Amino acid sequence: MRVTINEDKLHSLICSAGNIVIFGHENPDGDSIGSAVGMYHYLTGIGKKSHIVIASRLPDNLDFLIPEGSTSYYSEDASACEQAIAAADLLIFLDMNGVDRSGALSKVVSSSAAGVCKVLIDHHLNPKVEDFDVVISDTEVSSACELLYEVLLRQSGVDGDIQKLSLECVTAIMAGILTDTNNFSNSVYPSTYLAVSALQARGVDRDSLYDSVFRSYSKSRMRLMGYMLKDNMRFLSPCVAYFTLSLAEKEAYGFVRGDSEGFVNLPLSIKDIQMSALFTEDVGYIKVSLRSKGNIDVNDFAHRYCNGGGHKNASGGKLYIPLAQVPGFFESKVKEFFAQ
């Protein structure tokens, strides 16, 4: 499904803006970072002043994408984020379907930038159109980065010529596509391969990028993965598996943000497993990651039971219950979900 509202306004809004703030979603992943950084490089390339703001820090393995001085994290420097938003005359939100997905920053937007023009570029279901002045949304692309690639190619001054986008811009876009497709294992469309081919032809070193994204983890992450597979993978039925990861377990394995990235996909390698979940304890809530195969709609599951959403085969949310209650909660909701 494609939703495009006033797309022609985007170029004129960018041209007339003096200060632009780019938003990544809370707990950013590769697509969030890639699209934000890709937009930042595009704006820098046309002489525009911009800054990226994100509620929480990105995973360590993606830090190489961030240009020095380009990004502020609300969890670490709330004042810098607030000042950037207060000075902005254009806000661009990427890889989220509503302002609330920017986490704590959504309150700052509501209080200090209520009248500022807001643009959304996203690939998730059910965009909150009422939050924005310009919405560019397509659910039939692999990632926000793939959609951003299409949008930037259509901008005046680029006019379909990828050579007019900097190598830094297209590398960030490729990183987002790689991560959101789990290295082309899910959510891949014919348009995705066409985009990736063009990005490589432009000069993106795909092999080097793959090493940076997927082969730069710590030894402690690998030990944690082994522990999760050996001692912490549970089965509810022949087709559902899940993990839990407690604060104590994270501390024991020297957990840093991003160390559990991809864990939720691991049970889907088992022949009969059709749905997988990872419940990660954080301070005050449980982060939920859901994945599935085929026609099992984990977006629906997340929306109904986990205060979240996403895509049919990849979704997430949050629970506000003790981790000890998760097994019973999940079992009951899985039974209810599959009984319908």
What is the number of domains present in the chain? 2
Amino acid at site 204: V
Q: Which residues touch 283 (CB under 8 Å, ≥6 apart)? A: 247
Domain end among 169, 197, 214: 214
**Per-residue pLDDT for 1 more than 80?**
no
- On whether both 98 and 194 belong to a single domain, the answer is yes
- On whether both 268 and 175 belong to a single domain, the answer is no
Query: Any idea what DSSP says for residue 154?
Result: T
- On whether both 226 and 330 belong to a single domain, the answer is yes
Domain end among 158, 187, 214: 214
Q: Residue range 188-211: average pLDDT?
A: 97
Give the side-chain half-sphere CA count within 13 A for 176: 33
The pLDDT tens digits for 131-166 are: 999 999 999 999 999 999 999 999 999 999 999 999
Give the pLDDT of residue 108.
Answer: 96
Residue 99: give its domain's CATH number. 3.90.1640.10
Residue 240: give its domain's CATH number. 3.10.310.30
- On whether both 40 and 133 belong to a single domain, the answer is yes
Give the pLDDT of residue 3.
Answer: 65
Tokens of 210: 């793959």
Q: Which pTM value belongs to this model?
A: 0.90
8 A C-beta contact, residue 50 and residue 161: no
10 Å CB burial of residue 128 (0-12, 13-18, 19+) is: middle
**Per-residue pLDDT for 237 more than 90?**
no
- On whether both 167 and 232 belong to a single domain, the answer is no
Q: Which of 62-66, 70-74, 257-261 has the lowest mean pLDDT?
A: 257-261
- On whether both 156 and 243 belong to a single domain, the answer is no
- On whether both 132 and 224 belong to a single domain, the answer is no
Domain end among 186, 214, 242: 214
Q: Which residues touch 48 (CB under 8 Å, ≥6 apart)? A: 14, 17, 20
The pLDDT tens digits for 282-320 are: 999 999 999 999 999 999 999 999 999 888 999 999 999
- On whether both 177 and 243 belong to a single domain, the answer is no
Give the pLDDT of residue 9.
Answer: 86
Band (pLDDT 50/70/90 cuts) for residue 212 is very high
- On whether both 144 and 202 belong to a single domain, the answer is yes
- On whether both 62 and 183 belong to a single domain, the answer is yes
Domain that holds residue 312: 219-339
Task: Answer positive or negative: Cα dihedral of 264, 268, 272, 274.
Answer: positive
**Per-residue pLDDT for 186 more than 90?**
no
